[in-house]
Structure 1
């Protein structure tokens, strides 16, 4: 049988007899605690920002529905006015006795329709702008708040 090799102690090889590790351990513990505290604070800020963003999206969706209805009703009113004007024009044309009178009625109708189209376009532009502003306001506010909290951290 082969003889077993003598046992050597490896603890002596890695020991640093002149260094006290207690201050390093305390510094490491303090550093780790500060890191955990900062991480928890950052997580709480992020969680709050996400919750606020979710509320902002929900508010935006409700606003989008309300504003969409407003835009749709404006468009519907414009279509109704155009249809009624068209029927009124046809009724006038049925009572025409001369070609000159027909041209006069037709010219007045085209002029009135052009003016009405410009007014309706302006109204749709105003309503659409208000809708976009209303829908983007909650998300814009939440984004600005989130960016401010990120810069502060």
Structure 2
């Protein structure tokens, strides 16, 4: 008696099921790969924004330090030239009042810059999350 089926041949249903499984695995891998690449891009964008922000903040602090140091030297130079105690008191109080205003302005500028840095750094995260969690069509 001759065997009409090849012992190594899979039935059509099993083959179709296996092909469907392979196709789904490929699709899932492609989605995973895209998500991973997007995640890497997001991380790079976050670090780039944070780095730029840190540089801007450091530059601003250094500028403030230089301006405040120069104001201190100007104050000392003016103080050395006074002729009386009342003039010295006036120079001192004027300088102090001016520096308090400058410090308040500098603190406000640093707070605004910090807010901008936080917003710029979070933007890639929001963008990446919106892509990752977008509703299914």
TM-score (norm 1): 0.73
In structure 2, the gaps of 5 or more residues are 1-10
CA contact (8 A) 1:52 1:142 kept: yes
| The 10-residue stretch of structure 1 (78-87 or 54-63) with the greater mean CA deviation from structure 2 | 54-63
CA contact (8 A) 1:53 1:143 kept: no
Structure 1 residue 40, shift from structure 2 partner: 2.3
Tell me how large the CA RMSD over aligned residues is.
2.0
2:66 to 70, 80, 104: 80
Structure 1 residue 110, shift from structure 2 partner: 1.0
Matched with 2:128 is: 142
How far apart, CA to CA, are the structure 1 residues paired with 2:43 and 2:127? 11
Task: List, as ranges, runs of 4+ consecutive aligned residues in structure 1 with deviation greater than 4 Å.
Answer: 28-32
TM-score (norm 2): 0.81
Matched with 1:106 is: 92
**How many residue pairs get matched?**
127
Structure with max Cα Rg: 1
